[in-house]
Amino acid sequence: MSITRRPATLLALTAAAFVAAPAGAGAAEQLAASDGERIGLFENSSVKKVKSLKVKGLRGAQEIAGLDVRPCTDELFAMAVANDRAQLYGVKLDRKDGEARLRSKGGRFEVDGDSFGFDFNPVVDRIRIVSGRGQNLRVSPGPAPAPCPQATVIPPAGTVLVDKPLNYADGAFPGRPRVTGVAYTNSVAGATTTQLLDIDGKTGNLFEQIPPNDGTLVDIGELEATPRGSVGFDIARNRGFASFTPKGKKRTESRLYSVALRTGDVRNLGEISKLKGPVTSLAALRKG
């Protein structure tokens, strides 16, 4: 999941509230952030049938900057941005709109960049945040009841560990990566193993980030469609999904792709319509 915006503030969306929402929301398979304060709901097979909801309650100039479901609680967390600072929120979605509620009171942290990837590690219950400038962070989502991993010792929401910057393994590519979408495999409650995969907008390749804390990117393969700008990325039931504008197209023409996790091959599932701006973050539902 990722976003391109002014650097970051975190949002959390309660997936339970979303799934129970009327008017067909329960059939949605993807959530997409767009236009700073909107979330679109749609199915993989119906990307032109998007229900767009405005999220209220963000502070100041904050904009939504990332989405993901917390595997052990079925909450959907998100990231928004304002002046290089980040926070956590909880958001409820209903038929007409969304309501953001501050999760990490006073718990702001610094981010570096204008494009971000955002995803939960299901094994240790931490949020991985990376930026197009190579930043590589682990962020606590805050305490939660069992069966969340480390439920009794997890730090307050917004607590950050700064890991090594992103880098290409063995200098396989020149310069610094521009990763704008990350996703963990096996993103379900009780997971004991997982892999972190990255989409790099600079090379147009899919990578495995291993070890994640070292930020080392090992090439898997080309996407066959180079992203322009931000990339949304998530994995559900061992299927990868990415949202981005391919080079050569208008910035607002975000498309949904299926991604082969072993090769990087992509298949165009169609242009995501009815959103005011490009899709900047993607969260897949029904991961189990």
The CA distance from 60 to 85, in Å, is 12
Can you give the pLDDT at residue 10?
37
**Residue 76 scores a pLDDT above 50:** yes
The total number of structural domains in the chain stands at: 1
Helix or strand (DSSP H, E) at 199: strand 196-200
Is 15 in a helix, a strand, or coil?
Answer: helix
**Residue 271 scores a pLDDT above 80:** yes
The CATH number given to whatever domain includes residue 115 is 2.120.10
144-155 per-position pLDDT tens digit: 877 788 766 888
**Residue 248 scores a pLDDT above 80:** no
Percent of the residues in the chain that have a pLDDT greater than 90, as a whole number: 47
- The DSSP 8-state label assigned to residue 82 in this structure reads B
**Residue 25 scores a pLDDT above 70:** no
Judge contact between 206 and 197, C-beta under 8 A.
Answer: yes
- The DSSP 8-state label assigned to residue 1 in this structure reads -
Is 62 in a helix, a strand, or coil?
Answer: coil
**Residue 237 scores a pLDDT above 80:** yes
pLDDT range class, residue 288, cuts 50, 70, 90? low
Can you give the pLDDT at residue 26?
54
Nearest by Cα to 117 from 226, 41, 206, 19: 206
The residue segments making up the domain with residue 120 are 2-284
189-199 per-position pLDDT tens digit: 999 999 999 99
Can you give the pLDDT at residue 14?
39
108-133 per-position pLDDT tens digit: 889 999 889 999 999 999 999 999 99
pTM of the model as a whole: 0.89
The CA distance from 5 to 280, in Å, is 8
